[in-house]
Structure 1
Amino acid sequence: MEPTLLYGFPLGSSMGLVAALEWLGQPYRLSRVDMLSEMKSPEYLRLNPRGETPVLLTGDGRVLTETMAIALWIEARDRDRRVSFDPGTPQADRLHQLIGFINTGFTAAFTPYWIALEQEDADPDYKAALRRLGHGAVNERHARMEELIGDSPYLLGDRPTLADGVFIGVARWGAFHQAVRTGDYPKTQALIARLMADPAVAFAQAREDGETPPGNGALLGEVPLAELLNVHA
């Protein structure tokens, strides 16, 4: 059985893992999860008690959560090294370093923005304070990201890797929250633009938006979430 990635909308960080699966090119399935409703249901919480996406249902029936764990699962199956590098090499170490940074501090910096957005009835001063906190954190992390980006087109050379996938799923939040000013982080913003133009990323975002582009042929179809939850009840 092919692995199935449960990915969230709207604006889920898991969008980047969908792109990574396209770059990998091995058969997989998808299941789209509404993070504002379905992800909070008792049925979903039995699958992932943390109430988050992404979730990977592996080919042998195991449930794997957390972006870092799923990225490493993909890496272990990347026999042709399309999105990763040989274990133990400096490039592999650098890949893990970048994914670790993006999946922790870079992603967490946006938390105050999401809290402010989700609490519609909260005190306006409280929401404004959250946004100020988020603005400082996001810009500090963007400054660190700018230092990590080299002169190559992508984070680790001339082709996108797992690091780029994990990055773009989150990095687009800067524009959504209007958290960074155009021109403040030129290398970071150039990388975002380059990735957003990538066919696999465009495919992943279209799927997130509810469209059904075919991709490169690796995707074998979408599985309704209800069907997966019944199997794993």
Structure 2
Amino acid sequence: MKLFYSPGACSLAVHIALHESGKSFEAVRVNLKDGEQFSPEFLKVNPKSKVPALARDDGSILTECPAILFWVARTSPEAKLLPDDADGEARALEWMNFISGSIHNGGFTRILRAERFVGAPEHAPAASEKAKADTIKYLTIAEEMLAGRDTALPSGHSVVDDYLFVIARWVPRTGKELSDFPALKRLHDRVAAREATKRALAAEGLA
């Protein structure tokens, strides 16, 4: 099995979850800054030109961070990376959809790639500033959803926490500090201390 990742991207959540699961895999780096995601070789893996992508042992490719996290958790029941009950599973999916659709793509992507969302290049700086305000709003909602816990779900650690850990690392891009979101910071610090996280960070060359 191969995980196609870029250091510090949302693929880091999958990298952590794979170590949590105990699955055997090879990590394959994709250099987004150099445009490697648009290379003919990578487009054969993922025509969406994005990471993560997971090449599974049966030869199939799974893409999209929430889907891969869900699959890793569900195929590794002994790791207890998702709740077993339907409501707990639904809450996990609720979180991951919010992280992917709003915080990440509706927020951080618009901060860093504002030119993609405007008609004229000169509008990009203003669009980026608007995106920062929107992202702070989404992070505030996430803080409220955590309800003072250091886990996304009341049942305990899950793949959702691995995803939120990555988001927490990006908070300074909004102009805020992680300490401005106390529950998210506690979650970040707890996940950072886990052995699986340390292994994934070391493999990606991240502090």
Kindly indicate which of the two structures has a greater share of residues assigned to helix: 2
Matched residues in 1 for 2:73 and 2:54: separation? 14
How many residue pairs get aligned? The number is 202
Equivalent position SS for 1:85 = coil
Q: Which runs of 4+ in 1 moved over 6 A?
A: none
Q: How does 1:157-168 map to 2 (within 5 A)?
A: 157=154, 159-168=156-165
Mapped to 2, the partners of 1:202 and 1:52 lie a distance apart of 24
Equivalent position of 1:140 in the other structure: 137
Shift in Å, 1:105: 0.6
Q: What is the deviation of 1:193?
A: 2.6
Identity %: 25
Map 1:127-206 onto structure 2 (within 5 A): 127-157=124-154, 159-175=156-172, 177-206=173-202
Superposition deviation, residue 179 in structure 1 = 3.0
Which residue of structure 2 lines up, in the alignment, with residue 52 of structure 1?
50
Q: Secondary structure at the match of 1:80?
A: helix
CA contact (8 A) 1:8 1:34 kept: yes
1:227 corresponds to? none
**1:137-193 C-alpha deviation (Å, 9 max, x unpaired):** 110101110111034332224742110112222331112x25324543221222223
CA distance in 2, matches of 1:131, 1:86: 40
Structure 1 residues 207 and 116, CA gap change in structure 2 (3 angstroms): farther
Q: How many Å apart are 1:22 and its aligned residue?
A: 1.2
TM-score by length of 2: 0.86
Shift of 1:12: 0.8
Structure 1 residues 26-69: Cα deviation after superposition (integer angstroms, max 9, x where no partner): 22222111112221212211221111000001110001111122
**8 Å contact 1:7–1:32 — kept in the other structure?**
yes
Q: Which residue of 2 aligns with 1:102?
A: 99
With the length of structure 1 as denominator, give the TM-score of the two structures. Answer: 0.77
Letter in 2 for 1:33: V
Q: Deviations over 1:58-84 (max 9, x none)?
A: 110001111122122112202215211
**Residues 99-123 of structure 1: CA deviation (Å, up to 9, x unaligned):** 12112111121122211599xxx96
Contact 1:16–1:165 (8 Å) recurs in 2 = yes
Say whether the 8 Å CA contact 2:20–2:79 is kept in structure 1.
no
